Amino acid sequence: MIRVAAHAKVNLYLHVVGRRADGYHLLDSLAVFVDLNDTLVVAPADDLALAIGGPFADALAGEGDNLVLSAARALANAHGREARARLTLIKRIPVSAGIGGGSADAAAALRALSELWSVAIPDDLPLKLGADVPVCLAGRPLFMSGIGETLHPAPPLPPAFLLLVNPGVAVATKDVFRARSGAFSPAAAFGEAPRDAAHMAGILRGRGNDLTAAAAVLAPAIREAERLVAATEGCLLARMSGSGATVFGLYAGADEAAKAAASIRRERPAWWSWSGAIRG
């Protein structure tokens, strides 16, 4: 039996820098990971089966397939073998929330099944499963570019903490990109190592998330979440992650992030929130 953690991914900034002839958008983003995670457990079996539990299991109910099973089949096919494993996914990351839950689960499946089956993960396989799967497989702060396939090390990041808030609205990434309009942004990767969380927030203020306007048209609660997070004490930066609808707040201390989470829960008890450290 092999147990793997699938950590949530947060885009501290996300620029759309162009579009390929095939319609795929070209991105520039700084992705980091937090302690919030799904858990995937795999064990030998005579067939391929997936059981799902945890707080967000119901959001995946009725899916005939998902990225975990797709990853298992793709890895098996790459090595000309049968996909045989018993998989159990404990789902703690909200679904379709812009924090890479499905991609992190796919990456966890590749890691766990690579070990279970004693096979290598082909270099081109993660991207075939999704644009965020390569960075989720790496699982550390990285600049992403291209359509997600090009990864560059980020400078050392200071200790910093995030509040994640999701207003309970699932937003499909394809719909957000379809709704996006306007000019493209320049790439904005930086080599400067931030001195502390406040300095990092200052660097990030010169960047943004180019998908926010389109996502907020589809889910207006994103703007309310941004406003509420920005108003919490100690918040250095409030911004949407990925294609939404999760919004993050950046804080210098764990206590500040935890108090902000408590404040949001009082104001919007039906919303989901979490606070913790940026990993690495």
The closest alpha carbon to 172, from 235, 226, 278, 244, belongs to: 244
In whole angstroms, what is the distance from residue 140 CA to residue 85 CA?
A: 27
Catalytic residue among 28, 38, 105, 132: 132
22 is catalytic: no
How far apart (Å, rounded) are the C-alpha atoms in residues 63 and 80? Answer: 26
130 burial level (CB within 10 Å; 0-12, 13-18, 19+): buried
Rounded Cα distance, 165 and 97, in Å: 10
CA distances (Å), 180 to each of 56, 150, 175, 214, in order? Answer: 28, 23, 9, 5
Cα–Cα separations (whole angstroms), residue 74 to 39, 51, 266: 20, 19, 44
For Cα atoms 117, 9, 31, give the angle at the middle one, nearest 5 degrees.
110
User: Which tokens sit at 165?
Assistant: 């808030």
- The separation between CA 230 and the C-alpha centre of its own chain, rounded to angstroms, equals 21
Retrieve residue 168's tokens: 């309970």
* Residue 132 bears catalytic tag: yes
DSSP string covering 138-204: H-S-EEEEETTTEEEEPPPPPP-EEEEEE-S----HHHHHHH--SPPPPP-------SSHHHHHHHH
- Integer-rounded Cα Rg, in Å, for the chain is 18
Q: Spot the catalytic one: 9, 91, 105, 210.
A: 9
Greatest alpha-carbon span in the chain: 55
Residues assigned a catalytic role: 9, 132
